[in-house]
Structure 1
Amino acid sequence: MAVIDTSARAIVDGTYRTRPLNSGGDADDILEGITAAARALGTDHGRQWAVAVPGPFDFVEGIAQYSDVGKFDALYGIDLRARLAAALAANAVSFTFVNDADAFALGEHAAGAARGLSRFCCVTLGTGVGSGWVVDGERTDGAAPGGELHLLEFEGQRIEARMSRRAIRAAYARRTRLAAAVPDVREIADLARSGDPVAREVLEDAFSYLGRALADPLSRFEAEALIVGGTIARSWDLLEPPLSAGLGRPGLPVIRAELSHEAPMIGAACAAEGALLDSQVF
């Protein structure tokens, strides 16, 4: 969490706060974790709150719709706007909820790798495939169902069946016949750099597949560039070549995101900027 100066498109120095949050905990624990971090920001801000959250979520009403998604399931059906407003003694209308992938894309447009672009797609690669589509600084659904690339099917399966943390680890386990102690993606990337042919093939397969899957949506959207962020993008040396080859569009820039934790906070603030006075809190 942080106080955001929306005119500077930046976190106000000294205001960034982070706390561990157990996404598998009960509702009270999750909400207390969020509100405790918010209280730590003090009161020297505009008392407008932008909250970047993953879907499924009713962003207009502020109601969580998580069910069997593996995180925040305990929040299902809870009115987060009402609960957070009560806990923080805030006005309920001061809360704006923004999809976290959209917020990341908007943050990159405001202060990161997408500055100056008018039409682009931003994907975040980690647990799954997040996506944000931006035209002239506003989020759109782009060329994916509801704007969500993870709902897109390609070559007979959902994208995340081949390109996600779970899928990459499972592919490595199958090819090496590991039944336990399967390395995480970062460790698989290290193995690939050290000459492990299976690790390199697994990553190349996943990233090339993603490129092929994105080729048509990006073409239909007439994207100027593809921005790539998330934890898996840290292995850029292994990611970019097969991804670009899979896209098959040499003239389309594939750009690594410049921001990390700042992007969704700045982006959420930008999405809610019409309701702001001097600053925005995420």
Structure 2
Amino acid sequence: MNNSIVVGCDIGGSHISAALVDLDKKTLIKETFVRQSVNSNEGVSSIIDAWSNCITNTLKKGAIEKTAVGIAIPGPFDYEHGISLMKNQNKYEALYGVDVKELLAKKLGITSSQLTFMNDAACFLQGEMFAGAGTTFTRSVGLTLGTGLGSALYLNGHAVDGDLWCAAFRDGIAEDYLSGSWLKNSYLARTGRNVEHVKALCELVPADGQAEALLREFGRTLGEFVVEHLLDDKPDGLILGGNIAKAHPLFLSETKKVLAQQEQELPIKIAELGEMAAIYGAAGALK
């Protein structure tokens, strides 16, 4: 068996996706990609079976019997020991306090030491640093701009959860202002019109001046947040991911203006790996 070939997994509230990743070549073996739905409200055995089934299917597609497995999973979670701490989140309630690492390793026929869990936001940044937009950076920050705000810091070769969503900002916390919820709620408050999602809001530009102005304001808010919360660690780059980042032509110039006004230089790149970033990151953490 080629020890550089490992499994990277991304576990969400309703799915698991997995693929083999060649750590030496920094490539994802596309034909081994598997994505399956998971009912996170079921019992322990059903959830572990679903996860194991996805990983096993990936291994079969790559004609590999066993190898190390890296898993990106949301918190709260004891990543070192592989114990779920998720409670009252409408997902994986049955796993609370369970040694997931031991159960899943046993199901896969590998040792616990071959199974690694990592925060999903950290895996996004780890993946982009490993094989995406961050390969030229050495000390970076990652933000995922979507329904909520995710953050991670990459220091000394490893990404860790930045946990900045709840950082004090303006009259509340960062996520109050840097999320899809803020964009949708602000548009409704200013126009009396609902938009289903951020993509729909962006599609109104340039015909809708209110939508255009709102996105530019979002960019300035992002710049203010970067200056206030991200520069103390002296990063050499910022990587933006998440669905809102796809609309960067509509707001990022404003972010850069704020940085320039504060005489701050921070290269900003848009994530390149999409939903595969967490898989790359989970696998890359095994290197």
Instruction: Evaluate the alpha carbon distance shift between residue 218 and residue 74 of structure 1 in structure 2; reply closer, same or farther with a 3 A threshold.
Output: same
26, 43, 47: which one aligns with 2:42: 26
The corresponding residue for 1:4 is 21
Instruction: Evaluate the alpha carbon distance shift between residue 45 and residue 112 of structure 1 in structure 2; reply closer, same or farther with a 3 A threshold.
Output: farther
Given that 1:119 and 1:224 are in contact with CA atoms closer than 8 Å, whether structure 2 keeps it comes out as yes
- Scaled by the length of structure 2, what TM-score is found? 0.82
1:47-70 C-alpha deviation (Å, 9 max, x unpaired): 211001122211111122223345
Given that 2:259 and 2:265 are in contact with CA atoms closer than 8 Å, whether structure 1 keeps it comes out as no
The corresponding residue for 1:52 is 72
Of Structure 1 and Structure 2, which has the larger fraction of its residues in strand? 2
Structure scoring higher RCO (CA < 8 A, sep ≥ 6) equals: 1
The corresponding residue for 1:187 is 200
Q: Which runs of 5+ in 2 are unaligned?
A: 1-17
* Structural mapping, 1:1-282, within 5 Å: 1-23=18-40, 25-28=41-44, 29-41=46-58, 42=60, 44=64, 46-69=66-89, 71-139=91-159, 147-178=162-193, 182-191=195-204, 193-248=205-260, 249=263, 251-273=265-287
Paired-residue identity, % = 30
What secondary structure is seen at the aligned counterpart in 1 of 2:33?
coil
- Scaled by the length of structure 1, what TM-score is found? 0.84
Given that 2:66 and 2:110 are in contact with CA atoms closer than 8 Å, whether structure 1 keeps it comes out as no
Distance in 2 (CA, whole Å) between partners of 1:7 and 1:212 is 39
Instruction: Evaluate the alpha carbon distance shift between residue 166 and residue 72 of structure 1 in structure 2; reply closer, same or farther with a 3 A threshold.
Output: farther
Given that 2:195 and 2:201 are in contact with CA atoms closer than 8 Å, whether structure 1 keeps it comes out as no
Instruction: Evaluate the alpha carbon distance shift between residue 199 and residue 3 of structure 1 in structure 2; reply closer, same or farther with a 3 A threshold.
Output: same
Q: Which runs of 5+ in 1 are unaligned?
A: 141-145, 274-282
Distance in 2 (CA, whole Å) between partners of 1:200 and 1:70 is 35
What secondary structure is seen at the aligned counterpart in 1 of 2:240?
strand
Given that 1:11 and 1:266 are in contact with CA atoms closer than 8 Å, whether structure 2 keeps it comes out as yes
Q: Number of residues paired by the alignment? A: 264
Given that 2:167 and 2:174 are in contact with CA atoms closer than 8 Å, whether structure 1 keeps it comes out as yes
